Amino acid sequence: MDQQTGQWNSSLLISALGFHAALFIACVHPIPPILPNRTDRLIFTSTNSGSFSFKGACNLIQSPPLPDPTASAVWKMIWKCHGILPRILLFLWKLSHDAVPVKSVFARHLRIAAPLCEICGLGSDDALHSLFLCPKAEQSWLNSSIGLRVHALPAQILPLLKFLSEQLTHHDFMRFDNHLWALWKSRCKEVYEGKRINVQQVNSLANSYTFLAVVGRYGLNTHLRRMEVQNQHEMPTCFQGNICRLDGSFHNNGTAGWAYTLFQDEQLLRYGLESGEAASPLHVEACAMLAAIKAVHTVGWSSVIFLIDCQILANVINGAATPESVDWKAYLELLDILVAFRRQQLFKCCYVPRAGLQLEHHLANYARINNLTAVGFSFPSFPPI
């Protein structure tokens, strides 16, 4: 280094270390300032005097590292999303700590050049490219349920996750995490198993993870929890037998979704989701009831208890009210429902609070948001890749 100018002596570096080493050294910036008539000396930063001490070394080892505010904000959002599967949480932790097993990580530890992406061959095979910037991943994000445009996002993983955690709602951030996991699983199958997976299959797999998250949160695939029924006309003493639970989801833009579940002796027998358009919340509840009645006929039940959280619909079915002052679409559905109940004397309808139908409520929301129609007998109904 030139003591007068404070710059690297390029000719001396090249002659002593070679051109490539000199080039790397020249990239060190900024160069520490050189003060005249002063000599540099080594200091130990953990003591005030700058001299090494055993106590200062112990304090340095035991002192916790300063938390990264970006990572803290990301994890705060992740822990609020209760619908994330544990294995996806582990994957997010690895992603935020640059520990996802992509080939660029292996190349860095082996000190070799980073290989290109095996899907497109256009970029480095790192986590950012594999999960966001690869053309196939980019198209998948654009066609996903959150419609993400990856080129408008930060170009680093942690700032990207922090940006999305601030911009997306809890539900959308949960869907983002599930889609991220679906992309990773699909990529692994393509790279290591040679399977060709299209964008539609990736999106279907992401939907299945979101569906499984709802399943795990409310115990859909175990047993029906007993609940208190509040109804002045019928008060069954237990729920042994045939039970149909249903609910609807309505948005002001007219989109709707409804869902039902059939339980026999507290064991799940069948479920269904459907999306469509509706004129009012009552219209959605009526559509849910008609879909449930059709499912009950399909399985051959002649005796069943329907559990709903719509007091108006329950009163109309039980004869405690007349369908007055409702939109004509809901009125037509109510007439069909009344005919079905008059024909089947062993059909009973009971009102329960919303808390008793959280399963069906979230399934109906899921159908409406994802424009999904599905019928199945075990969760999920989506075919595995």
Q: What is the pLDDT of residues 302-355, one digit of tens each?
A: 999 999 999 888 888 887 666 665 667 788 888 889 888 988 889 999 998 887
Task: Collect all residues with Cβ–Cβ distance below 8 Å to 72 and sequence separation of at least 6.
Answer: none
Res 116: pLDDT: 86
Query: What is d(CA 57, CA 54) in angstroms, rounded to the nearest whole number?
Result: 5
Q: How far apart are CA 73 and CA 276, in angstroms?
A: 37
Closest Cα to residue 148, out of 176, 170, 169? 176
Q: What is the DSSP string of 176-197?
A: HHHHHHHHHHHHHHHHHH----
**pLDDT value for 223:** 34
pLDDT in tens, 260-313: 999 887 677 888 999 999 988 999 999 999 999 999 999 899 999 999 999 888
What is the C-alpha to C-alpha distance for residues 222 and 218, in angstroms, rounded to an integer?
Answer: 9
**Three-state SS at 276:** strand
Highest CATH level, class, for 242-376: alpha beta
- pLDDT 10s digits, 105-118: 777 766 666 688 88
266: left (phi over 0), alpha (psi -120 to 50) or beta: left
**DSSP of 211-224, one letter per residue?**
HHHHHHHHTTTSBP
| More confident call, 82 vs 149 | 149
CA 366 to chain centroid, in Å, comes to 12
CA distance 261 to 244: 6
pLDDT at site 349: 92
CA distance 262 to 60: 62
Sorted by sequence, the CB contacts under 8 Å of residue 186 that are 6+ apart come out as: 197, 201, 202, 205, 385
What is the identity of the amino acid at 218?
Answer: Y
Burial category of 118 from C-beta neighbours within 10 Å (exposed 0-12, middle 13-18, buried 19 and up): middle
Q: Is-contact 187 130, C-beta < 8 A?
A: yes
CA–CA dist 232, 66 (Å, integer): 60
Residues forming a β-bridge with 376:
271
Question: Closest by alpha carbon to 327, among 259, 277, 364, 291?
Answer: 277
Q: Which amino acid appears at position 184 of this protein?
A: W
- 323: cis peptide before it, omega within 30°? no
Domain boundaries, the chain: 10-62, 73-218, 242-376
Instruction: Give the per-residue pLDDT at 274.
Output: 93
C-alpha span between 190 and 125 (Å, rounded): 14
Q: How far apart are CA 333 and CA 326, in angstroms?
A: 11
3 state DSSP class of 368 = helix
Question: Which of 75-79, 152-156, 157-161, 262-266 bottoms out in mean pLDDT, i.e. has the lowest?
Answer: 75-79
Q: Over the range 297-325, which residues count as b (16 or more CB within 10 Å of their CB) and which as e?
A: eeeebeebbbbbbbebbbbbbbeeeebee
Residues 317, 320, 322, 325, CA torsion sign:
negative
Query: Higher confidence at residue 27 or residue 145?
Result: 145
Query: Higher-confidence residue: 365 or 235?
Result: 365
Q: What letter would DSSP give residue 116?
A: B
Tell me how far apart the alpha carbons of residues 174 and 165 are, in angstroms, rounded to a whole number: 10
Please give the helix or strand (H or E) that residue 152 lies within, else none: none
Closest alpha carbon to 164 in 175, 153, 178: 153
pLDDT at 37 over 60: yes
Query: Going along 289-346, which residue ranges are E strands?
Result: 304-308
- Please determine, for residue 138, whether its predicted confidence score (pLDDT) is greater than 60: yes
